[in-house]
Amino acid sequence: MTGETYDVRPTPPDSTQWFDPRNPALWVFIALALPGLWLLSGSVRIAFTAYPSAATAAAVLFTAYTVPFIIVLRRLDYLEREPPVLTAMAFGWGGVVASMAAVDGGHAVQGMLAKLVSPTFAATWGPAIGPPAIEEVLKALGVVLVVLLARAHVNSTVDGFVYGAFVGLGFQVVEDFVYAVGATAWSRGGDDIAPVISTFIVRGFLTGLWSHTVFTALAGGGIAYAVVNTRLPMARRFGVAAGAVGAAIAAHALWNSPLLRDGFGFGGIGIVGALFIKGLPVFLLVWFLFSRAYRTEAAYYGEQLAQYDGTPLVRPGELTALLSYREREAARRHAQSLKGRKGTRAAQAVRRLQHLQTRLSVLSSRYPESPKWVLETLQNPPTHQWLQSERARLGGLAARRELPPARRREQLHRVAVQRCVVDLLAQRSRLEHLDLPVAVGTNQKRSPMAPWALGLAVLGVLVPGAGAFAIVAALMATRGHLPSDGLAVAAFAVGALTTTGWLLAFVLLRLGAG
Amino acid sequence: MHGASGASPRPFTDTFGGRLTGSLAVLGVVLAIALGLPALNLMIPGIEDVGGARVELGHGVWFTAPENTSRDVGHDRPNTVQLTVDDALVTATTRAYQRSAQDFAEAVREELKSRPGLQLTGSERSFATAAGVPGVRLEFHSPSQEGYLLILVHNGIAVDVTVSGNGRRGPEDGTYARLDDALATLTFDEARP
């Protein structure tokens, strides 16, 4: 140990499950979620009855919209993943409790501004005052409730970003659905899906990246910082949490404000430019803060794994490759570059190996006896036969219930660590059979065409068809071997997403017209 | 091995008392926002007498409010004005609209079918402003209220005015008559939309 300290607090070995009926936070969640669900289901039922096509289109589009967000959030939360049930509760808080509680509160603030200042002021500046303050506080409370429900699972600032993002995503998706169906109702053109498509393009593509998900991630990061850094003075912790929530409110207020709404007088292009000016800095700020928190977390978990460096569990170079998203992907791409089906199998094995390495790192942080258990397992020769029999033996041990609780808990921990080691050795053996002894990437020269492909892909958000050109450019940049260049992969993915979005919009508009 | 070393005290959130206090605080803030703010808004006076005054409904649409009309500015929304005339509640909304008043009325009919309890009586009356802009008037009732919806579309602007009574019987006949006269004063800014 270096004696260095990190703002990471691993889940204690004796921590109870998050689902504890004696925890008042669980009952508060239920008490608020049930009426929220009742209100939301009433609105959704009316939407589907009055505008079945529009409501169905909105539900399908915005449900599909959440998928890439969830994939990205799970990838960002790679090292120490949050329990899916807790992230689902965070999503539910945002979509059900915060969104429903914000409706009347927001109207009330608007009304008070009209009375206390003037109706004109309320109409102009009300959206930049009431909703940001109310919504950001309500969403931040979702992260606070997760802390109260399962503080042991809020291990680092990164976790706060993740839970906050899930709360914000839930809020954003429900709000987008309501806005989309509301646009159809407001158009007074019957059950028309064109307003839904417009809402999807504007709120999904043009403004979706710097919306509630990012705002609440910022607030969540601040709250988690305060929760995790227990050795820091209370004033500083409280100040960071309050500052983060305040920054989320300020970012939201800037977004809702009438500033730059005229797009500098340059029409549609000017308005889109103004959207970027108001939103992009917030997104970059949150990305910067998240990256800092991620590096701290990576350093901590890297140190957990460093004690096994040089063993078959972690070969030289793999630790560095594991802790950085770019290097992780480079290692997978390098494995994928092997000829034929061998490449696919190698890439799968590298992915699995990296997952097991992070798991071993997290287990080591939770159970101080882990190194001893790991060494015990490593003393055996990792033959295929031994690995299989050991796996079966450990599986049987995990099921034993006749031991006293404390002994059983210790055994569960030991089995979890040793099983992880056995699985790791199995993947290592698999990789060695594929002539890939070390799971690291190589420094390949990047094609100068790849950045242009990515630029085209981003342009595809605004220009129909540009995404398709980006796909072609990405394939040309890599000469058909896409996995060899991360930038080309990104260009291909964004190009495919925008092309699919535009095609979907086109088909739905045609259907709507029919 | 743990990064967070040192004998720090047991965190507040790890005790039952801490969780209870924190949970109640969360509950309290949510209730304060969802219920407290609307209650506070009701307590702040915001009603002004606009009887006989010209009132802008948005998008350049104006009308002369009848006597004994009050406006609660706390209920105004962008392009939506709420007035009280005697015992009737009047909500007027304006928007850009490129179709006809009949299309608008049909869309409203479809939407009202999905609202439990609220039904159109089937009675429709024609309406025209003093300047000759025609409109459609749909009457509705529900177990708790009765009233009508007036729809006018002119020069790319739609106005829909909902008049409902506070009671089951709806506004009194005298109120209806005075409102009809007042709504006939609706004028559209010809230079817009």
Task: Tell me the CATH number at B76.
Answer: 3.40.1000.10
Mean pLDDT of A504-509: 68
Other CB atoms within a 10 A radius of the CB of residue A407 amount to 11
At A508, is the pLDDT very low, low, confident or very high (cuts 50, 70, 90)?
Answer: low
Q: Taking CA A129 as the corner, what is the angle to CA A127 and CA A132, rounded to the nearest 5 degrees?
A: 80
**Are A124 and A57 spatial neighbours (Cβ–Cβ below 8 Å)?**
no
β-partners of residue B91 are: B82, B162
Summarize pLDDT for A347-367 with one digit per residue, the tens.
999 999 999 999 999 999 989
Let me know if residue B32 belongs to a domain: yes
Let me know if residue B156 belongs to a domain.
Answer: yes
3-state secondary structure of B140: strand
In chain B, residues with a C-beta closer than 8 Å to the C-beta of A23 are 19
* Nearest alpha carbon to residue A482 among A440, A444, A455, A456: A444
- B37 belongs to a structural domain: yes
pLDDT digits (tens, 9 = 90+) for A487-501: 888 888 888 877 877
Indicate yes or no: CB of A189 within 8 angstroms of CB of B103. yes
Tens of pLDDT along A401-420?
A: 677 777 778 888 888 898 89
Instruction: Write out the two tokens for A50.
Output: 């009055």
B69-100 exposure pattern, b = at least 16 Cβ within 10 A, e = fewer: bebbbbbbbebebbbbbbebbbbbbbbebebe
Maximum CA extent, chain B: 85
Q: Does B100 touch chain A (CB under 8 A)?
A: no
Do B139 and B62 share a structural domain? Answer: yes
For chain B, what percent of residues have pLDDT higher than 90?
42
B80 touches chain A (CB under 8 A): no
Q: List, as one string, the DSSP characters of A325-386.
A: HHHHHHHHHHHHTSSTHHHHHHHHHHHHHHHHHHHHHHHHHH-TTHHHHHHHHHTS---HHH
Q: What percent of chain B has pLDDT over 70?
A: 89
pLDDT tens readout for residues A31-52: 999 999 999 999 999 999 999 9
Output the six-digit token pair for A285. 């700020």
Q: Count CB atoms within 10 A of the CB of residue A353.
A: 27
pLDDT of residue A309: 86
Buried b (16+ CB within 10 A) or exposed e, A108-136: bbbbbbbbeeebeebbebbbbbbbbbbbb
User: Is the confidence at residue B193, as pLDDT, over 60?
Assistant: no
Question: Same structural domain for residues B32 and B93?
Answer: no
Do residues B30 and B125 share a domain?
no
Tens-digit pLDDT profile for residues A57-116: 999 999 999 998 999 899 889 888 899 999 999 999 999 999 999 999 999 999 999 999
Mean pLDDT over the full length of chain A = 87
Q: What one-letter code names the amino acid at A179?
A: Y
pLDDT > 70: percent of chain A: 92
Is B5 a domain residue? Answer: no
Adjacent-strand bridge partners of B128 = B134
Residues B144 and B168 occupy one common structural domain: yes
**Beta-carbon-side half-sphere exposure of residue B66 (alpha carbons within 13 Å):** 19
pLDDT bin (cut points 50, 70, 90) of residue B2 is very low
Q: Are strands B54-58 and B47-49 parallel, antiparallel or unpaired?
A: unpaired
Chain A residues touching B20 at Cβ < 8 A = 24
Question: How many domains, chain B?
Answer: 2
Question: Are both B35 and B84 inside the same structural domain?
Answer: no
Kindly tell me if the per-residue pLDDT of A375 is higher than 80: yes
Please state at what angle helix A341-366 crosses helix A325-336, rounded to 10 degrees: 150
- List pLDDT tens digits, range A166-222: 999 999 999 999 999 999 999 998 898 999 988 988 888 778 878 999 999 999 999
Burial degree of A310 (CB within 10 A; 0-12, 13-18, 19+): exposed
Check: CB of residue A202 under 8 Å from CB of residue A144: no
Interface of B with A in 105-124 (CB under 8 A): 106-108, 110-111, 113-115
pLDDT of residue B192: 56
Pick the range with the lowest mean pLDDT from A24-28, A187-191, A268-272, A480-484. A480-484
Q: Return residues 346-375 of A near B (CB < 8 Å).
A: 364-365, 368
Residue type, A467: G
The span from the CA of A207 to the CA of B21, in Å, is 38
Residue A134's pLDDT is what? 97
Contact criterion met (CB below 8 Å) for A57 and A197: yes
Close Cβ partners of B184 (under 8 Å, ≥ 6 residues apart): B128, B129, B130
Alpha-carbon distance B174 to nearest alpha carbon in chain A (angstroms): 31
Is B1 inside any structural domain? no
Q: What are phi and psi of B149, to 5 degrees?
A: -125, 125
Residue where the block lists tokens 């940049």: A477
B55 and B24 assigned to the same domain: no
Partner residue opposite B41 with nearest CB, options A32, A108, A300:
A108
Q: What share of chain B is helix, strand, coil (3-state, %, to 5)?
A: 30, 35, 35
Whether residue B107 sits in one domain with residue B172 = yes
Segments making up each domain of chain A, as ranges: 24-304, 307-433, 449-513
* pLDDT tens column, B78-87: 888 999 998 8
Q: Which residues pair with B124 in a beta bridge?
A: B138
pLDDT for the residue numbered A505: 67
Mean pLDDT, rounded, for A311-340: 85
Closest CA to A110 of B46, B74, B93: B74
Closest CA to B188 of B50, B54, B59, B101: B59
Q: Which residues of A touch B44 (CB under 8 A)?
A: 111-112, 115-116
What is the per-residue pLDDT for A138?
Answer: 98
Query: Hey, are the CB atoms on A231 and B4 less than 8 Å from each other?
Result: yes
Whether residue A5 is predicted with pLDDT greater than 80 in this model: the reply is no
- In this predicted structure, what is the pLDDT of residue A3? 38
Does pLDDT of A273 surpass 80? no
Closest CA to A34 of A101, A126, A128: A101
Check whether residue B57 and residue B91 sit in a common domain.
yes
**Same domain as B93, residue B38:** no
- In a shared domain, residues B56 and B34: no
For B95-126, what is each residue's pLDDT tens digit? 999 999 999 998 888 888 777 777 888 777 88
Q: How far is CA A6 from CA A17, A230, A287, A300, A302, in A?
A: 25, 11, 20, 7, 12
Rounded Cα distance between A362 and A328, Å, is 17
CA distance A26 to A148: 9
Q: Sort out which chain B residues have CB atoms less than 8 A from A27's CB and list them.
A: 23
pLDDT for position A399: 56
d(CA A375, CA A311): 10
Per-residue pLDDT, A157: 95
Section B36-64 average pLDDT: 91
Closest CA to A354 of A320, A330, A328, A316: A328
A406 in contact with chain B, both atoms CB, cutoff 8 A: no
List the single residue in B with minimal CA-CA distance to A32: B27
Question: Is B143 inside any structural domain?
Answer: yes
Nearest to A50 among B44, B77, B110 (CB): B110
Q: What is the C-alpha to C-alpha distance for residues A296 and A169, in angstroms, rounded to an integer? A: 25
Whether residues B147 and B56 share a domain: the answer is yes
Residue showing tokens 């063993």: A311
Assigned domain for B33 exists: yes
B174 interface with A at CB cutoff 8 Å: no
Pick among B8, B15, B33 to test the A interface (most A CBs inside 10 A) = B33
**Domain assignment of residue B121, given as a range:** 47-188
Give the CA distances from residue B67 to residues B45, B56, B58, in Å, rounded to whole numbers and listed in that order. Answer: 20, 16, 21
Query: Do both B26 and B117 map to the same domain?
Result: no
pLDDT in the model for residue A475: 87
Is residue B119 in a domain?
yes
Q: How confident is the model at residue A238 (pLDDT cuts 50, 70, 90)?
A: very high
Which pLDDT does position A484 carry in this prediction?
Answer: 65
Mean pLDDT confidence for B130-151: 87
Beta strands B80-85 and B88-96: pairing type? antiparallel
